[in-house]
C-alpha cells in the first residue's frame, strides 16, 4: 500500500466510532470464488456467462435452468473457506467499531468467518437457500442439490411444483425492501464507509457510497481497479483487499472525535 494512502486510511479507521463496510466479489477471490468483472472475472472471460443471471431468461428457458442447477453442484462456494479479508472484518467487529457489513456476495463467507449474522446484510441474497418463484416458499439449498445429485435435472418446489431458484437476486428482480432500507440506514449511520472488493457498477449497492459521503462519512475504497465513485472517496487504495483489511483492522481506536447519527430514513418527513 502506498505509505501516504495507508497512513490516511489507518487514521480514519483509528478515529472512527461507527464503521459500515460494503463488500463485493473481490473479497472472496482469495477463497477461490472468482469475481465477475475483474480482469480474470467470469463475465470478462465469457460474455455469455451472465445470461443466466437474468430472471427473465431463467423463467423462459428450461434448458438454462437445467444448466444452472448442474453448475450449482460444482460451485466453489461449497468448499470455500473464509480468507484473511473476512477474518479481518470479524476482528474489526470485535473492536466495537464495525457495526454493519453490507455485502453483494452470496457465498455466506462473512458469517462463516465469525461475523455476527445480524450485522451482515446480504443485498443480493444467498446461495445457501432456495425460493419458489410461484408460491414464495423457501428452503435449504442443500435439499435441492441432493435432488439434482440424485438425478433430477430441475428440482421443482416441493409445495406447489413451481419453478425453484436460488435465493439470490437476479437481474430484473427487485431487492428485498427491508434489507435495502437497513443498508441505506447503515450508510447514513456511520462515520467511515469502508468499501472493499467491488467495482461499484451495480445499483442500488453502488449508490450507498454517495449516500454515505453526502451524509458526512469518510469513504475508503479498496479495489483492484478504479471505480465510478473514487472521486468522492477520502482515500482510494488499489491494493489487494487481503492485505488492506487485515492492516486496517489492526489499527487501535484513537478514542477522539464525536459522532452524531442521521437516524432512520424511514422516519424522515
Annotated binding site for Zn(2+): 132, 135, 157, 160
> What is the C-alpha to C-alpha distance for residues 182 and 90, in angstroms, rounded to an integer?
20
Please pick, among 86, 110, 118, 124, the residue that the annotation labels catalytic.
124
C-alpha triplet 131, 202, 120: angle, nearest 5°: 55
CB 6 within 8 A of CB 203: no
What pairs with residue 132 in β-bridges?
Answer: 164
DSSP string, 210-221: HHHHHTT-EEEE
Q: Tell me if residue 124 is catalytic.
A: yes
Grid cell 442447477 — which residue? 69
Q: Compute the 3-state secondary structure of the chain and give helix, strand, coil in percent, each to the nearest 5.
A: 40, 15, 40
| Catalytic (active-site) positions | 124
Amino acid at each position: 500500500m502506498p505509505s501516504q494512502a495507508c497512513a490516511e486510511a489507518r487514521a480514519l479507521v483509528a478515529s472512527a466510532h461507527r464503521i459500515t463496510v460494503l463488500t463485493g466479489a473481490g473479497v472472496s477471490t482469495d477463497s477461490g470464488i472468482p469475481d465477475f468483472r475483474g480482469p480474470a472475472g467470469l463475465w470478462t472471460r465469457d460474455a455469455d456467462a451472465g445470461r443466466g443471471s437474468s430472471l427473465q431468461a431463467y423463467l423462459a428457458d428450461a434448458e438454462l435452468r437445467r444448466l444452472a442447477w448442474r453448475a450449482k453442484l460444482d460451485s466453489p462456494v461449497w468448499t470455500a473457506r473464509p480468507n484473511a479479508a473476512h477474518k479481518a472484518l470479524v476482528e474489526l467487529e470485535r473492536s466495537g467499531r464495525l457495526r454493519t457489513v453490507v455485502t453483494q456476495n452470496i457465498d455466506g463467507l462473512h458469517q462463516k468467518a465469525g461475523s455476527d449474522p445480524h450485522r451482515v446484510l446480504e443485498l443480493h441474497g444467498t446461495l445457501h437457500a432456495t425460493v419458489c418463484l410461484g408460491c414464495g416458499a423457501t428452503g435449504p439449498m442443500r435439499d435441492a442439490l441432493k435432488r439434482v445429485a440424485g438425478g433430477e435435472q430441475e428440482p421443482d418446489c416441493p409445495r406447489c411444483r413451481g419453478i425453484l431458484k436460488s435465493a439470490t437476486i437476479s437481474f430484473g428482480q427487485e431487492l428485498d425492501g427491508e434489507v435495502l432500507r437497513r443498508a441505506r440506514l447503515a450508510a447514513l449511520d456511520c462515520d467511515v464507509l469502508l468499501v472493499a472488493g467491488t467495482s461499484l457498477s451495480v445499483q442500488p449497492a453502488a449508490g450507498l457510497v454517495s449516500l454515505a459521503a453526502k451524509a458526512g462519512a469518510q469513504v475508503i475504497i479498496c479495489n483492484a481497479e478504479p471505480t465510478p465513485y473514487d472521486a468522492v472517496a477520502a482515500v482510494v487504495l488499489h491494493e489487494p483487499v487481503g492485505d488492506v483489511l487485515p492492516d486496517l483492522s489492526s489499527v487501535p481506536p484513537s478514542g477522539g472525535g464525536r459522532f452524531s447519527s442521521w437516524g432512520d430514513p424511514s422516519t424522515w418527513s
